[in-house]
Amino acid sequence: MVRELKEQVLEANLRLVREGLVRLTWGNVSGFDRERGLFAIKPSGVAYEDLKVGSIVVLDLEGRVVEGTLRPSSDAPTHRILYREFPGIGGIAHTHSPRATAFAQAGMGLPCLGTTHADHFHGTVPVVRELDPAEVAGDYEANTGLAIVAAFRERGLDPLAMPACLQRHHAPFTWGRSALESVENSVALEMCAAMALDTWSLRDGAGPLPGHLLDKHFLRKHGPGAYYGQKTG
């Protein structure tokens, strides 16, 4: 099972490249085996073209490396906190995709302007506050995870209904039920950010999608009576 998890995480990281979401070594994807309490993640600073199954590092939720010889991504503590605090998620992607990162750097949430956004995110993708000097000087990456968790709890957001956030001055994080689903949400986030910027270039101040359309499009894919796509099993 650990081998299978590492294979999934390798494929998810390589998909970041195929989707044009990363440059250089910016970004990482992890996947979580909740039964074993282990997650696999890209190693730190390794070029995507050099990644192999054996490169992927496996850690427990205390941050201890249990398999692998390379150093895990420097963002591993953020992933660890999110897995610990967000039940139901099984994969996390972190990118510096240009348009979503522009929203993060501007400290702007990404509002839902149309049904494409509503198919993936139930409302405005939130901005998470910047860390203060003490948090940065301390356990910076773990504190990033704690700030994300606090923002979702303060706003009453369901991480599965809002599988993304924009860390102010930093970049986006997305998640899902698997590593590959977290990457799909990164693709959707970048596309929605691009469409929002194009929309505002055509009509400055274009407003949000009406609530009844937002709910319809989100719930037809993700709600208890979802009917989008094909049934499995």
pLDDT 10s digits, 14-60? 999 999 999 998 899 999 999 999 999 999 999 999 999 999 999 99
Query: In order of start, what are the domains of the chain with their CATH numbers?
Result: 2-222 (3.40.225.10)
| 60 catalytic per annotation | no
DSSP run (H or E) holding 99: helix 98-106
pLDDT 10s digits, 123-179? 999 999 999 999 999 999 999 999 999 999 999 999 999 999 999 999 999 999 999
Q: How far apart are CA 141 and CA 131, in angstroms?
A: 10
Single out the catalytic residue among 119, 139, 140, 215: 119
Residue 206 pLDDT class (50, 70, 90 cuts): confident
Q: How far apart are CA 19 and CA 9, in angstroms?
A: 15
Contact criterion met (CB below 8 Å) for 157 and 145: no
| 139 catalytic per annotation | no
Single out the catalytic residue among 60, 158, 198, 228: 228
